[in-house]
Structure 1
Amino acid sequence: MTSNAERVLRYMLTSPMDPNWARDITEHTDLPNGTLLPILTRMLKQGWLERYWEDDFIAESEGRPRRRYYRFTQGGLEGARIALAHWTAEHGSHASGRLRPNPLRSHSTEVNGG
């Protein structure tokens, strides 16, 4: 695992049942899309994540384009926690140290999976 992947996992695991969209992840990990999207693609191919578009109605009601969300699969959540534990054992806690807190993170975002 790379330090950038570690940052993505650490952020997504702060609230593992909530969906995430790329812009939110980039804002809290300081990773540009060109770095983030290949990481998310690898996690999708590993079966750790699933992705889906939010419901059209939600986006239209907020006057913006639809968001593509990412969330852990059941097996992916376990795999991510194990991988992060191994990373932490090898590199120390918060080795990257570049996450920014999100005060809205504790609130669930309602989306229509599918």
Structure 2
Amino acid sequence: MPDVKMTPHTQTVLRALLGHGDAREHRTVVLADGLYGLELSKRTGLPNGTLFPILERLRQAGWVERYWERDEIAEGEGRPRRRFYRISSKGAAAAPQALAEATAAAPTTGRARVARPGLAGGSVE
């Protein structure tokens, strides 16, 4: 099993798939129906170029499953089928612990250090 790198974006995606931070209801249960790409992008605020590589890494690690919407649902709404993503049973078991560990390991200062070009080795006036 590939290790899952718990970047802040990966944590955001996992929380969305687990139902954390849902505005309607605070849940810690797995969203059984899953979420489709555009909905995940809206919930996480991540662009597709960031979101889908994370989903693919989580899928390869066995933490996320993907599946297509049933044809009759999409046809009934007059649109193409959507691809949904949901936490797998393996991910449901591992993700909460991984998120807790990542949160505990996060810096408590509130701001990450960011390199600021122009300030290293000299003064800016």
Same fold judged by TM-score > 0.5? Answer: yes
| Whole-angstrom distance in 1 between the partners of 2:17 and 2:85 | 9
- The alignment yields a C-alpha RMSD, in angstroms, of 1.8
| Whole-angstrom distance in 2 between the partners of 1:88 and 1:63 | 42
TM-aligned CA deviation for residue 63 of structure 1: 0.8
| Whole-angstrom distance in 1 between the partners of 2:16 and 2:79 | 25
User: Bigger relative contact order, structure 1 or 2, given CA contacts below 8 A and separation 6+?
Assistant: 1
The superposition leaves residues 37-88 of structure 1 with CA deviations (integer Å, 9 ceiling, x where unpaired) of: 0000000000001111010000000111100011111111111111111111
The superposition leaves residues 77-112 of structure 1 with CA deviations (integer Å, 9 ceiling, x where unpaired) of: 1111111111111127xx8xxxxxxxxxxxxxxxxx
TM-aligned CA deviation for residue 18 of structure 1: 3.0
**With structure 2 as the length reference, what TM-score do the two structures score?**
0.70
Task: Spell out the pairing of 1:1-114 with structure 2 (5 A cutoff).
Answer: 1-14=6-19, 15-16=29-30, 17-91=32-106
Unaligned runs of 5+ in 1: 96-114
| Whole-angstrom distance in 1 between the partners of 2:103 and 2:18 | 14
Aligned length: 94
| Whole-angstrom distance in 1 between the partners of 2:34 and 2:46 | 18
Aligned residues with identical type, % of pairs: 48
Specify the alignment match of 1:102 in structure 2.
Answer: none
TM-aligned CA deviation for residue 22 of structure 1: 1.0
Q: Residue 16 of structure 2 contacts residue 44 of structure 2 at CA under 8 Å; is this kept in 1?
A: yes
TM-aligned CA deviation for residue 11 of structure 1: 1.3
Unaligned runs of 5+ in 2: 1-5, 20-28, 111-125
Is the partner of 2:57 in helix, strand or coil?
A: helix
